[in-house]
Amino acid sequence: MTDRRWNPGAVAERRQLLFFATGVTVIAVGLLTFTARQVVPVILLSLGVLAAGGAVAYRWIGRGVYLVLSMLAALIGSVVSRAVVAVTYVLAIAGFGSLLRVVRMNRLERDFARCRRKETMLTDAPPTDRESFGRQS
């Protein structure tokens, strides 16, 4: 699997470089249009130019550019994936718990004062007959 990921062939590498260049350029133009900040869009535009140059001049510099951008994309993808999973997990747990609390379905709420008044929390097991004991084992 890793061989196909890092060495998909010249045609696939060129196509991926073109897709990367197009996507990064569109994101950079969108950021330049809707935000006043310029650092991230300039970095993205330079990556887009690098990828486009790698696709156009693939014979001379394309393979190296593809490998560098692939490793960069793998690193960014792993960080973003972990962040998305963490945020989704927290929102799902917190959101679902908050919803249950709002509709008063908190099953974890206990009467601790009544429990403290008990001498012990241990109880005896219910009596079982010989047949029931035989079925359990």
pLDDT, greater one: 72 or 1? 72
Average confidence (pLDDT) over 20-32: 86
Number of domains in the chain: 1
Round the average pLDDT of the chain to a whole number and report it: 79
Q: What is the pLDDT of residue 5?
A: 62
Torsion region of 40: left, alpha or beta (phi above 0 gives left; psi -120 to 50 gives alpha): alpha
pLDDT digits (tens, 9 = 90+) for 50-104: 888 787 877 787 677 777 787 887 887 888 899 999 998 888 888 887 887 788 7
In a domain, 83, yes or no: yes
In a domain, 80, yes or no: yes
In a domain, 124, yes or no: no
- Residues 6+ away with beta carbon under 8 Å from 109: none
- Find out whether 66 and 17 touch, Cβ atoms under 8 Å: yes
Q: Which domain holds residue 95?
A: 2-109
- Residues 6+ away with beta carbon under 8 Å from 44: 24, 25, 27, 28, 31
Average confidence (pLDDT) over 9-19: 80
> The whole model's pTM is what?
0.52
In a domain, 121, yes or no: no
Q: What is the pLDDT of residue 82?
A: 93
Three-state secondary structure along the chain? CHHHHHCCCHHHHHHHHHHHHHHHHHHHHHHHHHCCCCHHHHHHHHHHHHHHHHHHCHHHHHHHHHHHHHHHHHHHHHHHHHHHHHHHHHHHHHHHHHHHHHCCCCCCCCCHHHHHHCCCCCCCCCCCCHHHHHHHC
Average confidence (pLDDT) over 32-52: 84
Share of the chain above pLDDT 90, in %: 3
In a domain, 126, yes or no: no
In a domain, 63, yes or no: yes
In a domain, 75, yes or no: yes
Amino acid at 26: V
Determine the Cα–Cα distance for residues 94 and 84; give it in Å rounded to an integer. 15
Cα 128 vs. chain centroid, distance in angstroms? 50
In a domain, 127, yes or no: no
